[in-house]
Amino acid sequence: MSQRFALGLGANVGDALETLTAAVYAIDDLVGVVVDDVSGVYGTPPWPAPPDPRAVPQDDYLNLVVTGLTTLEPLALLAETQLVEAAFGRDRDREQRWGPRPLDIDLLLVGDHTMHTERLVLPHPRIAERAFVLIPLLEVMPGGGLPDGRRFTSLLAALAPVEDIELVVRLDAVPTRRQLRPDGPVGPAATFSRPTPPDPGPA
């Protein structure tokens, strides 16, 4: 049986916008997964701020939320998304906690599942702390909330004032039946397509 999922994607290494766009395609290509909506891309400083002012500075993150339907159970979906992360250069064994990421994919929600295991906690335990997750989540799940009944609007209101989160761009070409969004502040247009494979030439 299919169940609705929401994934949070972020990147701040290399061409983060190109990475996020390609990652949406990669997620949609997973067996048992269909992407049906993608939020705008939001820029935000790294979170949390490094406690040591001498820490190496990071570039700002670009973030978006992807929703869709999946027949995979949560742990299977987690395993598949971690393979996508690895394909884009993430090495969980060597990375620094809260450090830069070529690609980070968080399982935010999978159906009404609630679980707390060593590998996975659902809903994501820090949704309520992250405006950069709640803002795009509200965009693709207006009126939505957590399985315990808390609404995204209430969680976001509790974080007010919300600062340093900017709508950078809306992706024009992604594998989604994306709903039209209300007018608002937008960045420059961006359109992406799958790369054309090279011509192998005559056999």
| Residue 151 annotated as catalytic | no
Whether the per-residue pLDDT at 68 is higher than 70: the answer is yes
| Residue 106 annotated as catalytic | yes
All domains of the chain in start order, with CATH: 3-169 (3.30.70.560)
Catalytic residue among 91, 101, 148, 170: 101
Catalytic residue among 106, 130, 170, 178: 106
Q: Quick check: 124 and 5 in contact, CB under 8 A?
A: no
Sign, CA dihedral 48-91-62-100, equals: positive
Query: For the segment 33-56, what is each residue's pLDDT rounded down to a tens digit?
Result: 999 999 999 998 886 565 555 556
| Residue 101 annotated as catalytic | yes
Catalytic residue among 15, 104, 177, 181: 104
Q: Quick check: 42 and 168 in contact, CB under 8 A?
A: yes
By C-alpha distance, which of 22, 68, 21 is closest to 40? 21
| Residue 28 annotated as catalytic | no
Amino acid at the residue 193: S
* Lowest-confidence pick of 24-28, 46-50, 94-98, 192-196: 192-196
When comparing pLDDT for 66 and 47, which is higher?
A: 66
Catalytic residue among 29, 90, 93, 183: 90
pLDDT of residue 55: 57
Whether the per-residue pLDDT at 147 is higher than 90: the answer is yes
Q: Quick check: 7 and 57 in contact, CB under 8 A?
A: no
Mean pLDDT over each residue of the chain, to the nearest integer: 83
